[in-house]
Amino acid sequence: MDLKKHCPDKVISAKDAVSKIDRGSRVFIGTGCGEPQHLIKTMVEDKNLQDIMIYQMLSWTLASYVDDPSFLKRFSLKLFFISNPMRKAAFEGKLDYIPTYLSQIPKLFSSHRIGLDVALVQVSPPDRFGYCSLGVSIDITKSGVDNSGMVIAQVNPRMPRTWGDSFVHVDEIDYFVMHEEPLMEATPVIKDNEITKRIGQYVSQLVDDGSTLQVGFGHLPNAVLQFLGNKKDLGLHTQVITEGMLELFEKRVITNKKKTLLPDRVVASLCMGSHRLYNYIDNNPMFYFRSSEFVNDPTVIARNDRLISISSALEVDLTGQVCTDSVGYLFYSGIGDQVDFIRGSAMSKGGFSIIAIPSTAQNGKVSRIVSHLSEGAGVATTRGDVNFVITEYGIAELQGKGIYQRVMELAQVAHPKFRNELIDEAKKHHYIFADQLPPIEEDLLFLEDYKTTLKLKNGKIAEFRPLLPSDEFAYRNFFYSLQEKTIYFRFFYKMKLFSHEVAQEQWASVDYRKNMSVIGLVQKGGYKEIMAIGSYAREDDVRAEIAFVVREDFQNMGIASYLLDALEKIAKENGYQGFTATVLSENSAMLRVFKKRYPHAKLKALGSNEINVIMDFNSAD
């Protein structure tokens, strides 16, 4: 459609268009990469415009003007999210931050709680039916257009036409300004550092093939995408499409075939990346753009089975409270989409959320895992909402766990140099037992090599990994699930209690080298429970004493033999040449396991009913 022929009176210059804005108007501006740069610059240059209140979600172009006192006298900024270019202005009190969930912003406009007089947006040229596309910025822009008294659109042929609810008919637009210019680009530099790599690898462990992802704002969530390249048939239901996703689209890692809501379609409301990404989404039916009111609605999100929300944070306290929008009293970013998606993922069948966060800030000077949030810091995500927290030191699982367990989980993934301090603070707050041992003060990344899986005879998949201090309650539950005979075979007496003190004795001896414990876990409902444990403890410089316990319903499935093999490999790495074991003579099953692997094992009777088994690694079968 030729606008100059269809509605010549509406096609005017930018200068004439912004002159239509009355003094004291409330002006909405399109979001991020979709913002109409030419219109914004022309508006600022018009000295007749006074006392203008601007509402915007992600603001970039105006960052060039916020240090100008004359600009601040004429314009006041109300932002729903503080972009990086606007951060300094926010710290200096030059703008006003409106904390709210992205899913709720369109309703603020439609209910006129936030009234809008003018909308400045950028659109594609109209098609032959008269429909322009809002392109890369649907989010709250669609509602801004629908609820403004006057709409001024910059028509840019470089704006992609996106599928979904992105269209605005020319009859709904009051004035058109024809101006071609490059769209804003947002291509964060991928920091190829060890921290990002390790966090990405941990995230990858939790993402199964066929999952549907949401990836939040920020460098880190975008960066971890590069570690999902080996996945299959991922789906995407997310607020923003970013540059990091392009490779996964092109490699057909993201196919959307397994999605339960709008299969075969990427659901999003924003796109922020390079021109290459914009070309990819242009008129591509795989992409279905809707407003934030739909995309971020937790009940809509939950209609995606196995929805995994991946977002970041500024700091997380030991109880699981998350701060995302402020550094102390300084507003830094915004609530954004995190809470919407965390709650939606919690309601999703098989879904969950991940907070990915480096363990430290300020070049390692401060911990991001803290005993309490900084003074002035806002709680964006409550302790009741958080599931997984991942740092470069591992995965903390908080859902359904008490404060004691949360402290231990989070202390384990804190930077090693802050772990003792965090445990001491937790004791002061009476979060944990006064005699609680802190996690080891070293990087335990090597333990990742000790994680394995085994398909059992009953069809279940068992996971094996080293025992951690945060496993105390799971270990306790395992002990009390055992029959009296099994306990007797392991401890040689009818042990009745597995107290906190007993658990502490276990942790005190485990150093993951000379002394090691490996647990076997199986899925039960929405969590994993321990069904086996194998341990070795230093006897002398060349031998370690080994012992096993396997729950009765998992016996005779080869688990003890599997653990024996796993522990032998670890023991060899740590300089041992063999194992010893003390076995009750009536425990024929355990004796068979040892004899099968070590046919030349030496057996020596110890009293009436105990047998000492001496095994050399070089004689293993």
Query: Domain of 382: which CATH number?
Result: 3.40.1080.20
Same domain as 244, residue 149 = no
Residue that is last in its domain, among 382, 398, 428: 428
R_g (Cα) of the chain, nearest Å? 30
Could you tell me if residue 443 is inside a domain? Answer: no
**Running DSSP on this structure, what letter comes out for residue 438?**
P
Give the torsion sign (CA, 141, 142, 147, 151).
Answer: positive
> From the CB of residue 347, how many other CB atoms can be counted at a distance below 10 Å?
13
| Number of domains, the chain | 3
In this predicted structure, the answer to whether residue 494 has a pLDDT above a threshold of 70 is: no
Q: pLDDT (tens digit, 9 = 90+) per residue, 382-394?
A: 999 999 999 999 9
The percentage of residues in the chain with a pLDDT greater than 70, rounded to a whole number, is: 97
Same domain, 21 and 127: yes
Average pLDDT in the 1-25 region? 96
Least confident range from 63-72, 281-290, 477-486: namely 477-486
Per-residue pLDDT, 309:
97
Q: What per-residue confidence (pLDDT) applies to 441?
A: 86
Give per-residue pLDDT as tens, 295-324.
Answer: 999 999 999 999 999 999 999 999 999 999
Instruction: State how far the Cα of 69 lies from the Cα of 209, in Å rounded to an integer.
Output: 53
The CA distance from 314 to 373, in Å, is 10
Residue range 486-504: mean pLDDT, rounded? 67
Range of the domain at 604: 448-619
Predicted confidence at residue 118, as pLDDT, reads: 98
What is the predicted pLDDT for the residue at 570? 97
CATH value at residue 59: 3.40.1080.10
DSSP line for 447-482 = GGGG-EEEE-TTSPEEEEEE--GGGHHHHHHHHHHS
Instruction: Tell me the sheet residues that pair with 310.
Output: 215, 354
Do 407 and 454 fall into the same domain?
no
pLDDT at residue 444, rounded to an integer? 87
Q: Among 56-65, 136-145, 268-277, 460-469, name the one with the lowest average pLDDT.
A: 460-469
Q: Once rounded to an integer, what is the mean pLDDT over residues 90-119?
A: 96
Give the model's confidence band at 479: pLDDT under 50 very low, under 70 low, under 90 confident, else very high: confident
Is the pLDDT at 443 greater than 60? The verdict is: yes
Q: Are residues 156 and 15 in the same domain?
A: yes
Band (pLDDT 50/70/90 cuts) for residue 250 is very high
Token pair, residue 487, equals 């306990």
For residue 51, report the phi and psi dihedrals to the nearest 5 degrees: 55, 50
Cβ 108 vs Cβ 100: under 8 Å: yes
| Assigned domain for 391 exists | yes
Q: pLDDT averaged over the chain? A: 93
Q: What is the DSSP letter of 6?
A: H
Same domain? For 507 and 613 the reply is yes
Whether the pLDDT of residue 492 is over 60: the answer is: no
End-of-domain residue from the set 124, 143, 178: 178
Indicate whether 580 and 462 sit together in one domain.
yes
Query: What's the pLDDT tens digit per position in 220-248?
Result: 888 899 999 999 999 999 999 999 999 99
Q: Is the Cβ–Cβ distance between 37 and 184 less than 8 Å? A: yes
Residue 439 included in any domain? no
Q: Cβ distance 442 to 474 under 8 Å?
A: no
Contact 572, 581 (CB under 8 A): no
**CA quadruple 587, 590, 596, 597: dihedral sign:** negative
pLDDT band with cut points at 50, 70 and 90 for residue 50: very high
* Residues 322 and 461 grouped into a single domain: no
